[in-house]
Structure 1
Amino acid sequence: MTIRTASNPVATCCASCHADVVDAACRICARKGMASVLCLGRTPLANDFRPWGAAPSARYPLHVMHCESCGLTQLADSVAPERLFSEYAYFSSASAPVIEHGLELSRFALRELDPPTAGFVVDIGSNDGYLLRGYARERFRVLGIDPATNIAAEARSAGVPTLDAYFSEAVAGRVVAEHGRADLIHANNVLAHVPDVLDFLRGCRTLLSAGGHLVIEVPYVADLVTKCLFDTIYHEHVYYFSMTSLCRLLDAAGLRALHVERNGFHGGSLRVVAGRGFAHARPSVARLLAAEHAVGVCDSGYYRDFADQVHRFLNRTRTELGELAALGNRISGFGAPAKATIMMSSAELPLEYICDSTPYKQDKLLPGTGIPIVAPDRLETDPTEYCVIFAWNYAESIIAANHGYLRRGGTFVKPVDCKLEYVRRA
């Protein structure tokens, strides 16, 4: 892919980033000539946290495309999963909102899907076992599957049996041979990460019992576009699903969507319940499919203005915070999720440090920058005039936990809906 200097806020981007149609083949249907949605240039891997003095993070093209043939929005290029996930910097249990969401998700599954007492529950992309701990307490047999060796070891140390492997149809066969079929499978914010998504879903069908349920949660592409959530685009997220594209993939794998509901997690997500193809679907599936058809979510025109909106926001953000810094104001950040890497790679904001509660990330640098990640108490001992909340999906809990910063005259800055909101002491 040819690289050139760009005139937009991204420092470097691919030569085709301003083209309406790019000669790349869809990963699912192999159609060429997908529509360009957004190019963010060459960016570092979002979780490539490195210590001081380490070699700079490698950068890879980050270009989102849309296939009108199958309706699937996807990255033009992908990075080998082994490079992304073999050792992982995200620990679910470090986030109170993630724990609460996991509890709500398990309550939903137990209430709505009624898995058999002492049944077998599998979580694919199980991270540190946060979701399965509740099922284990209810005396279900549980198994986590996660490719990150450090994360899987953490889960096992917490008493959650975990297989460190990339899930596939072949791995599903091994699990069935050793443990039997699953009555309930969770795939929570993992499906977008899987390059061979059809093999993954076929594996789910292999593993699933005849009357069992697969519960998938994925960020929703309609919310990505309407809320301008461009900082949720990064190399780990190969796919950006609509209900229409997800139903087509489930059908191709011998599964069927039975129920869907939307929630606000990660800025807007779909929770989809699926089963084997003969199961009966609830009206919620047809309603959302009809709503997507009405607004043209699977048509490239739906994405036409997205890139311009993103680049206008990046220009405004750089200008606003740059002017504040020029006036002598110090600026920090709060939260070092993937969103922070993408925002900083795209806008290059003048930050002194970023606070994050995850010990694994502390005393390292935000990928692609020289900005140190520090413990949250730095905002108390060395407060800046402004603090950008990169983990905006947890903004309320961050502000509540750091109200003293506001009392001392600090200002939080929230990037929301492609604008900056300034939160000061009431």
Structure 2
Amino acid sequence: MEKEPSPHLDVAGSICPSCGGDGMSVFYRVTNIPVHSCLLMKDRRSAVSFPRSNLSLAFCPACGFISNQLFDPSVHSYGRIYEESQGYSPCFNSFLNSLAGQLVDKFDIRNKRVLEIGCGKAEFLAAMCRIGNNEGIGIDPGSNPARLPASVKDRVTLICDFYSEAYSDIKADFVCCRHTLEHIGPTRDFLLTVRKSMSSNPGAIAFFEVPDVLRVLRERAFWDIYYEHCSYFSMGSLARLFRSCGFDIIDLELAFDNQYILLTARPSAITEPKFDIERDLDDLRSNVAKFSFMVTEDLELWRRRMQAWSGAGRRVALWGAGSKSVAFLTTLRLDEQIEFICDINPFKQGTFAPGSGHAIVSPDALAAKAPDVVIAMNRIYRSEIASQLEQLGVKTELLEV
């Protein structure tokens, strides 16, 4: 039986931004990585010379929260050249529309006002408004009214800004925040601002969605760790944060191939834990202790695989030009070992990946280049990718991270 490595954690001594406890321990570091993953780089030179920084993940033993101790929000530049949308994937759209429909039905979000904090290109907000005939307000520095579906343009207002107390007077029946909290350093302060804004409407519902860090730790998914994400939650650490900020949790579950945590809550003075899945501190400690050791082994395996493919003259491409591919390439320090990245999002095609400078091409361009190996950057899209490759007549070895 293989002996489990002893935890070698460096005590950072910093205060946890989620629970306020001290004694956070650093357990994983990555150096010289791009500070953005989803900005559209128009040429390879600007992509390769894109600003970089370091990442140092620390674990809070009290609440289980994980954060990048070296995070500096001032280096970020969110705006309309930030392209995070997964809305061109049938698989993702099915998930998004199904989720919106379930929330509308379960909480009767019909003919009401929906506020989305960090709405991106407002695909989810548009679905909530279309399905429930709701009025929508979206706040995001990268929002773009031109990307709204015509069917909801008269019912959705987009504010091109960061959410703050300046918008706390917006009264909404449903407040949602999807894949935004992980980009925020002072998580507790942010959530308290949201809680304060909901005080005038105690019947309002809050819905948050974030990646599940316990899956990342268990699967040693180093490609899911990057500079933009400074805050990492498990179901337990997310629930503990919400309860400490005055929310009663209604639902807590995993979705999207167990990659995302879905939390639904309402403002309440009653905040007693009621989900067994919140009790995950021991599991977190165990996986944190061995993560760096196991990832080091995985990195070496990937490098050997790349070297073997290169030596055999096999041409390799990635499918999916989001943050996962940027983290995969820059953590492994890959260059010519990967020929290009394919993505179905037309706004990404013809641009270059921040940090590595790899060209991002369309599926048609991939077919013309005919790589020997295609690596899917998210396993949930594997069948969708396989179907597209078959339609394009591309015979290749399809793998997944």
Identity across matched positions, percent: 23
SS of alignment partner, residue 36 of structure 1? strand
**In the TM superposition, what is the alpha-carbon distance from 1:130 to its structure 2 partner?**
1.0
Greater relative contact order (CA < 8 Å, ≥ 6 in sequence)? 2
Q: Which structure 1 segments of 5+ residues have no match?
A: 1-17, 176-180, 416-426
1:286-301 mapped onto 2 (5 Å cutoff):
286-290=275-279, 292-293=280-281, 295-297=282-284, 299=285, 301=286
Q: 1:85 to 1:390 in 2, by over 3 A?
A: same
Q: Which amino acid aligns with 2:163?
A: F
Q: Which residue of 1 aligns with 2:114?
A: 121
Q: Which amino acid aligns with 2:105?
A: R
- Structure 2 counterpart of 1:46, from 33, 37, 42: 37
Q: 2:400 aligns with which of 392, 399, 414?
A: 414
Match of 1:327 among 274, 290, 312: 312
Instruction: Supply the distance in 2 between the matched residues of 1:32 and 1:323 (Cα, whole angstroms).
Output: 46
CA contact (8 A) 1:204 1:214 kept: no
Alignment RMSD = 2.5
> Partners in 2 of 1:409 and 1:139 — Cα distance?
45
Aligned: 1:86 with 2:79: yes
What is the CA–CA distance in structure 2 between the aligned matches of 1:306 and 1:71, rounded to whole Å? Answer: 15
Residues 272, 278 of structure 1: alpha-carbon distance in 2 compared, 3 angstrom cutoff: same
Following superposition, the deviation at residue 317 of structure 1 comes to 0.9
The separation in 1 between residues aligned to 2:111 and 2:391, in whole angstroms, is 47
Unpaired runs of 5+ in structure 2? 1-7
1:153 positional shift: 5.2
Q: Distance in 2 between matches of 1:354 and 1:62?
A: 24
* Aligned: 1:130 with 2:123: yes
Taking the TM superposition and a 5 Å limit, the aligned residue runs for 1:16-415 are 20-29=10-19, 31-44=21-34, 45-52=36-43, 54-55=45-46, 56-80=49-73, 83-87=76-80, 88-115=82-109, 117-137=110-130, 138-149=132-143, 151=144, 154-155=147-148, 159=153, 160-173=156-169, 175=170, 181-208=171-198, 209-265=201-257, 268-278=259-269, 285-290=274-279, 292-293=280-281, 295-297=282-284, 299=285, 301-349=286-334, 350-404=337-391, 408-415=394-401
> Which deviates further from its counterpart, 135-144 or 319-328?
135-144
In 1: Cα distance, 2:71 partner to 2:120 partner: 22
Contact 2:44 2:359 in 1 (8 A): no
1:75 and 1:239 in contact (8 A); partners too: yes
- Secondary structure of the residue that 2:123 maps to in structure 1? coil
After TM superposition, the score normalised by the length of structure 1 is: 0.82
Paired residue for 1:15?
A: none
Deviation per residue, 1:313-337 (Å, 9 max, x gap): 1111111121111111111221111
Q: Tell me, what secondary structure is at the counterpart of 2:84?
A: coil
3-state SS of paired residue (2:326): helix
- What's the CA shift for 1:408? 4.9
Corresponding pairs, count: 383
Distance 1:302 1:381 in 2: 43
Structure 2 length-normalised TM: 0.87
Q: CA deviation at 1:345?
A: 0.6
1:280 and 1:197, CA in 2 relative to 1: closer, same or farther beyond 3 A? closer
- Separation in structure 1 between the aligned mates of residue 128 and residue 69 of structure 2, nearest angstrom: 38
CA 1:140/1:194 → structure 2, altered by over 3 Å: closer, same or farther?
A: same
2:206–2:264 contact (8 Å) kept in structure 1: yes
